[in-house]
Amino acid sequence: MKVIGIYYRVSTDRQDLDSQKHAVETWLTKLSPEKQPKRTLVFQDEGMSGTDSTRPGYRELLDHAFAGKIDTILVYRLDRLSRNASEAIKTLLTLDEAGVAFISVTQPVLNLGHENPFRRTMLAAFAEIAEIERQTIVTRVKAGLEAARQRGVKLGKPSMDTPELRALIKEKREQGMSLRAIASSLELSYGLIQKLSLPQDTLESSSEEAT
């Protein structure tokens, strides 16, 4: 670890960060001299839910990670990063692809430090979980289309514009994936992904102008 990004989060104003900070700082002091980070950056969000992916501290942390400004993310618990387990796993996989390690000081079994001998096994398990969720969402979309066909609804490209697919695209974009990478992972056209990545009110406005 050369530069680590420490992330703290509390959900309500009644909570404080002291317990998290104490645990993280204690963990750091127990590191051997050669493993001590050269620099630490602190990011935090107070009074914000872990399901909110627009948290300013969280977004700044990810921006630093994907820009190569930190090589390790350190948290008190995984749920401080995200309360959504599947989203957290996808974020960890994306971070690993960017060369950023992850450490939870109270959950060493989840640590994805590069010195972890079980790292590859854990990444494979995480990837499988993420793939299962992806396939579930794709299956739901296809089932919805088939149900619409059986009701006699004429389907075309616009029928792919579903809340589930938009949410999935938004989630992947927030994890740093490009539109082409998303299109490839979902086995959909780049044009469709590009269209659905735009805010819906933007598309409606463009449609009205055209008429």
The catalytic residue positions are: 11
Angle between helices 119-150 and 85-97 (to 10 degrees): 120
Q: Do residues 36 and 102 make contact, with C-beta atoms less than 8 angstroms apart?
A: no
For 127, the 3-state DSSP assignment is: helix
Q: Residue 160's closest CA among 132, 141, 137, 182?
A: 141
| SS3 label, residue 10 | strand
CB atoms within 10 A of CB 16: 12
Residue partners of 113: CB distance under 8 A and separation at least 6: 1, 72, 101, 102, 103, 119
Residue 134, Cβ density class (10 Å: 0-12 exposed, 13-18 middle, ≥19 buried) = middle
Biggest distance spanned by C-alpha atoms of the chain: 69
Structure tokens at 59: 């977004």
